[in-house]
């Protein structure tokens, strides 16, 4: 029984000496050292993607570099499409436009269809989340319709609108709306009873309840739906534009395929990927701004 007590006594002075040594090193640490530490941390984040991407490009160059390869290597992609890369704004009339115009046409369709889906989706989701009757009535329809692939809507949409442009917008709308509805409904249904009690004690009316309790409380869920929605919209637009034609990145890819311009397809895919990534980041950024403080209770 006495042993541990003795041990404890002998170890007592040790931490004190450690502490003084530590103090000295802290005092000596200059700005230079901190700068170095931050530099290493940044290199640690940047190096892995740089190495992996260069490795993959090298592998691609090696695999497709020989004569008679069915796909062009990265060096050839860049030399083939140099004109498109440096001048995205040219417009020679008709469908012969720079990539900027194609992307901008696609983005406009997505913007319109997605905006309508966001409005209608949040409204319908609120209805389904608030009313058990509406939920029971509409949920089976939603569950079946949301599994229909986006392109399956296109023929019907073309028949209804008789024009490519609104038909494509409708396809975006119908693709993006389901995750928005479903996530909004879950968010509304998950509003804690506590918040409803607070609203009841304060006698908030329906409009105040909607703006002051429902929207902020369900915002994280709504934004999850909106993020899935923007991703799906961007997926659907390329496929829809391949079929309806006209200006747009989907048509650009289809046109390049018909003219056997493989390099142009690869460049377009790169643009599509980057744009999809940026769209996702934008929605995530808005979500971060709006829901600040909501997730942590």
Does residue 210 belong to the site contacting another protein (CB under 8 A)? Answer: no
Does residue 147 belong to the site contacting another protein (CB under 8 A)? Answer: no
Does residue 51 belong to the site contacting another protein (CB under 8 A)? Answer: no
How far is the C-alpha of 178 from the C-alpha of 228, rounded, in Å?
A: 10
SS3 content of the chain, % helix, strand, coil (to 5): 80, 0, 20
**Among positive and negative, which fits the CA dihedral 109, 113, 115, 118?**
negative
How far is the C-alpha of 255 from the C-alpha of 248, rounded, in Å?
A: 10
Provide the mask over 216-235, with x wherever binding to another protein is found by CB under 8 A and - wherever it is not.
xx-x----------------
Please give the size of the binding site for another protein, defined by CB under 8 A: 21
Does residue 132 belong to the site contacting another protein (CB under 8 A)? Answer: no
CB of 193 to another protein, least distance (A): 9
Find, among 129, 146, 128, 149, the residue nearest to 138 by Cα: 128
* Inter-CA distances, 65 with 77, 79, 238, Å: 11, 14, 29
CB of 206 to another protein, least distance (A): 14
* Inter-CA distances, 84 with 87, 101, 261, Å: 5, 12, 12
Find, among 231, 133, 218, the residue nearest to 181 by Cα: 218
∠ CA 155-158-163 to the nearest 5 degrees? 155
Structure tokens at 278: 């940026």
Of 61 and 208, nearer to another protein (C-beta) is: 208
Token pair 């406009």 in the structure block, residue: 108
Does residue 201 belong to the site contacting another protein (CB under 8 A)? Answer: yes
Pick one of 66, 194, 258, 260: the residue that binds another protein (CB under 8 A): 194
Pick one of 45, 66, 203, 206: the residue that binds another protein (CB under 8 A): 203
| CB-CB neighbours of 3 under 10 Å | 7
Does residue 198 belong to the site contacting another protein (CB under 8 A)? Answer: yes
Pick one of 197, 211, 257, 278: the residue that binds another protein (CB under 8 A): 197
Options 105-113, 134-142, 253-261, 286-294: segment touching another protein (CB under 8 A): 286-294
Beta-bridged to residue 97, according to DSSP, are 91
Of 135 and 215, nearer to another protein (C-beta) is: 215
Does residue 296 belong to the site contacting another protein (CB under 8 A)? Answer: yes
Distance of CA 291 to the CA centre of its chain: 16
| CB-CB neighbours of 190 under 10 Å | 12
Options 46-54, 82-90, 101-109, 208-216: segment touching another protein (CB under 8 A): 208-216
Of 165 and 196, nearer to another protein (C-beta) is: 196
Of 7 and 292, nearer to another protein (C-beta) is: 292
Does residue 204 belong to the site contacting another protein (CB under 8 A)? Answer: yes
CB of 224 to another protein, least distance (A): 16
CB of 230 to another protein, least distance (A): 23
Does residue 4 belong to the site contacting another protein (CB under 8 A)? Answer: no
Whether 255 and 243 have beta carbons less than 8 Å apart is answered as no
Residues that bind another protein (CB under 8 A): 194-195, 197-198, 200-204, 208, 212-213, 216-217, 219, 291-294, 296-297
């Amino acid at each position: 029984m006495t042993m541990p007590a003795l041990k404890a006594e002998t170890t007592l002075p040790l931490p004190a000496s450690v502490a003084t040594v530590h103090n000295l090193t802290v005092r000596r640490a200059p700005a230079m050292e901190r700068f170095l530490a931050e530099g290493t941390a940044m290199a640690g984040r940047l190096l892995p993607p740089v190495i992996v991407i260069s490795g993959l490009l090298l592998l691609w160059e090696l695999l497709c570099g020989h004569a008679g390869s069915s796909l062009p290597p990265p060096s050839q992609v860049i030399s083939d499409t140099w004109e498109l890369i440096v001048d995205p704004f040219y417009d020679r009339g008709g469908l012969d436009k720079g990539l900027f115009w194609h992307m901008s046409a696609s983005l406009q369709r997505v913007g319109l269809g997605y905006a309508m889906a966001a409005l209608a989706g949040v409204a319908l989701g609120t209805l389904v989340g608030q009313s058990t009757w509406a939920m029971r009535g509409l949920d089976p329809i939603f569950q079946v319709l949301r599994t229909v692939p986006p392109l399956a809507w296109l023929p019907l949409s073309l028949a209804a609108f008789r024009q490519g442009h609104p038909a494509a917008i409708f396809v975006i709308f119908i693709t993006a709306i389901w995750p928005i509805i479903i996530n909004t409904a879950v968010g509304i249904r998950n509003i804690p009873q506590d918040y409803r009690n607070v609203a009841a004690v304060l006698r908030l009316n329906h409009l105040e309840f909607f703006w002051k309790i429902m929207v902020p409380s369900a915002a994280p869920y709504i934004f999850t739906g909106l993020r899935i929605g923007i991703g799906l919209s961007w997926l659907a637009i390329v496929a829809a534009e391949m079929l309806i034609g006209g200006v747009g990145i989907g048509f650009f890819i289809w046109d390049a395929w018909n003219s056997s311009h493989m390099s142009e397809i690869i460049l377009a895919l790169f643009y599509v990927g980057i744009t999809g990534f940026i769209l996702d980041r934008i929605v995530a950024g808005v979500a971060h701004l709006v829901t600040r403080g909501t997730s942590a209770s």
